[in-house]
Amino acid sequence: MPLQCKQGTSMTISIGDHLPAGQLTECIEFDATTACPTNPQTLDIIEQSQGKKIIIFGVPGAFTPLCSAQHLPGYIKYAEQLKVKGADEIWCLSVNDAFVMAAWGKEQNATGKVRMMADGSAIYTQALGLDRDLTKGGMGIRCFRFAMLVDNGEVTYLGVEGSGEFGVSKAETLLELL
């Protein structure tokens, strides 16, 4: 499958590459009294991707308009179909903390469909080469809107969006690819 990428973006990850070593954080537990996410777990990317076909899609931020209205909801809506077509897991990656990602996933009803993976300091996003500086807009370092298909740790599709674009990273695109 060809690389779908906006001209001028520099990336360290490409089709045929293996995911770099690194960690993400996930919260799947909630306090019964406060309903706040608890007990964040640090996950090893290499270990988590072994022997699986995973869709990883990245968003600039949890609770942002396009991400909340279309990007994450699309993957939730098509999760079952994506899994029937071969995806073992679907990960949503954002440069937010694990508590925010868990709360956003709960609000969007992502549980059991999409894993909400936090990269709070943008370390893994930078390792992928998919980081962008949105400091002028008050958002700091974030990730590009993207989607990738990863088979046993190897990237087989990568679609990176330009500013204001939404096509190569949406769930329907990945549904067609599988």
- Banded model confidence at residue 175, pLDDT cuts 50, 70, 90: very high
On average, the pLDDT of the chain sits at 93
Q: What pLDDT score does 105 carry?
A: 98
How many Cα atoms occupy the beta-carbon half-sphere of 8 within 13 Å?
4
pLDDT digits over 153-170, tens only?
999 999 999 988 999 999
Active site residue 36: no
pLDDT digits over 72-89, tens only?
999 999 999 999 999 999
Strands 89-94 and 115-118: parallel
pLDDT digits over 137-151, tens only?
989 999 999 999 999
Q: Are 1 and 156 in contact (CB under 8 A)?
A: yes
pLDDT digits over 45-57, tens only?
999 999 999 999 9
Mean pLDDT of 82-108: 98
Mean pLDDT of 95-111: 97
Identify the active-site residue in 5, 67, 92, 143.
67
CA distance 90 to 51: 14
Sequence-distant (≥ 6) Cβ neighbours of residue 127 within 8 angstroms:
12, 20, 21, 22
